[in-house]
Structure 1
Amino acid sequence: MSGATPATIAPSARIYPNVQLGEGSVVGDFVIIGEPARGVAPGEAATVIGAGAVIRSHTVIYAGNVIGAGFQSGHGALLRESNTIGDNVSVGSHSIIEHHVDIADRVRIHSQAFVPEYSTLKRGSWVGPGVRLTNAPHPLCPDVQRCLVGPTLEAGAKIGANASLLPGVRIGENALVGAGAVVTRDVEPGAVVAGNPARTVKHIRDLVCPATGLNPYRAILGVPGDDSDDDDHAGR
């Protein structure tokens, strides 16, 4: 393409055959892109990464991933094979994305998170540091491969630090899971849950930021940004 900005690749990085790296991307030291899964020959599965990616040192991206534009990784992130990842997604340092995960646009995954195979993270969902998603209802069962199912995060769902999500749970649109919660069942859209097991404690419309005195999700809820004339708010 005329005028395209070539990718910048550190000399210590390893790029396997059949990797398409978008223009303007930056690949850091000791990054590996296109690592073949077991039983797959090098270059057999295509790896596609869109324009403007920033892939920081020691990240490993297996072959067979399709990743949109604006991708960013922290240091030492691991992405296994056959994932579909949208635009403007970030995966934090030392986080692990297993295979066959579907991640939509504008998802943010913070550091040291674990996302197992067959999980779905929809547009704008947010995963805090140390979060663990799980997918095996009965670990070590001889039929475990038949029933693996990861959690689904609906659009705008937010998972607080160190929370654990059990297999197959669905976190509703714009719901908020508190830090350290253990989620054993589906969470309704807009609900705020906390505890072990996680229980609904309020709705996001009831939240007030102590710094601003405003609802932090007022844009989602369609609440005006200036509440100075709201008598109920003024009395809090």
Structure 2
Amino acid sequence: MSYWKHDSAIVDEGAQLGEGTKVWHFAHVSPGARIGAGCSLGQGVYVGNDVAIGNNVRIQNNVSVYDAVTLEDDVFCGPSMVFTNVYNPRAAVARKAEYRRTLVKRGATLGANCTIVCGSTIGSHAFIGAGAVVQKDVADFALMVGVPARRIGWMSRYGERLVFDAQGRAQCPHTGDVYELQDDERCCVLVTQGNLA
């Protein structure tokens, strides 16, 4: 095996896990799951069949990644955050044919105990605050908090809140990245890339 798993974890036959991925206590990976290299699945994590997870993804304890969810590279899922895949569930009504797909783009952070309602796309390097409830698409670099989640600012790739000048530009002090507000300040664009390391 190119990955490591704790003795109490279950990785079903057929699941694909990349080199260096670690599966911790009591986690369960379903047979159709595709997981990249260098990932960490914390205690009590569940990964469904129709799930694609990129490289270097961190899924903290007690997160269930249900069918129809895709996590791109470098995504962080905080402890006990929630994904859904049915918009209007009823115990007495079968709706497996109605799953709505969720995409979490590269570098996004999903804070502890937040909820991502199915059918949403979370933009690259977006930052969802702890306990927020996301019900619609989120822009790249957006900082979202509250119930329902609303944008209160923008975050750098490094994970620092951006402060914009009068010309609508901001620079991350850690990386040198330069960001610009566009479309009447409804989107944030990385215009000059520094060094993330």
TM-score (norm 2): 0.79
Counting helix residues as a fraction of each chain, which structure ranks higher?
Answer: 1
CA distance in 2, matches of 1:139, 1:102: 23
**Higher relative strand content:** 2
CA distance in 2, matches of 1:179, 1:216: 24
Q: Distance in 1 between matches of 2:107 and 2:172?
A: 16
- Match for residue 207 of structure 1? 161
How far apart in 2 are the matches of 1:131 and 1:202?
A: 21
Name which of 32, 35, 40 aligns with 1:85: 35
Cα distance change, pair 215–112 in 1 and its aligned pair in 2 (3 A)? farther
- The match for 2:168 is none
| 2:135 match | 184
Q: SS where residue 106 of structure 1 aligns?
A: coil
CA distance 1:78–1:220, shift in 2 (3 Å): farther
Verify the 8 A CA contact 1:134 1:150 in the aligned structure 2.
Answer: no
The share of aligned pairs that are identical, in percent, is: 26
Q: Which has the larger radius of gyration?
A: 1
**Conserved in 2, the CA contact under 8 Å of 1:97 and 1:114?**
yes
Q: Residues 102-157 of structure 1, C-alpha deviation per residue, up to 9 Å, x if partnerless?
A: 00111111111111111000011110111111100121374512211242100111
The answer to whether the 8 A contact 1:92-1:111 is kept is yes
Matched residue SS, 1:82 = coil
Corresponding letter in the other structure for 1:169: S
List aligned pairs for 1:144-163, cutoff 5 A.
144-163=95-114
Shift of 1:56: 1.3
Displacement after TM superposition at 1:98 (Å): 1.5
Q: Which runs of 5+ in 1 are unaligned?
A: 1-21, 23-50, 209-213, 226-236
Deviation by residue 1:24-58 (Cα, 9 ceiling, x = unmatched): xxxxxxxxxxxxxxxxxxxxxxxxxxx2x221131
In the TM superposition, residue 67 of structure 1 has moved relative to its aligned partner by: 1.1
Task: Please name the residue that 2:123 is paired with.
Answer: 172
Between Structure 1 and Structure 2, how many residues are aligned?
Answer: 170
Cα pair distance change 1:64/1:160, threshold 3 Å: same
For residues 1-236 of structure 1, the aligned pairs below 5 Å read: 22=1, 51=2, 53-140=3-90, 142=93, 144-205=95-156, 207=161, 215=172, 218=175, 222=193
Equivalent position SS for 2:144 = strand
Structure 2 letter corresponding to 1:54: W
Query: SS of the counterpart of 1:146?
Result: helix
The list of structure 1 runs, each at least 4 consecutive aligned residues, that deviate by more than 2 angstroms after superposition, is: 140-143, 214-225
**TM-score normalized by structure 1?**
0.66
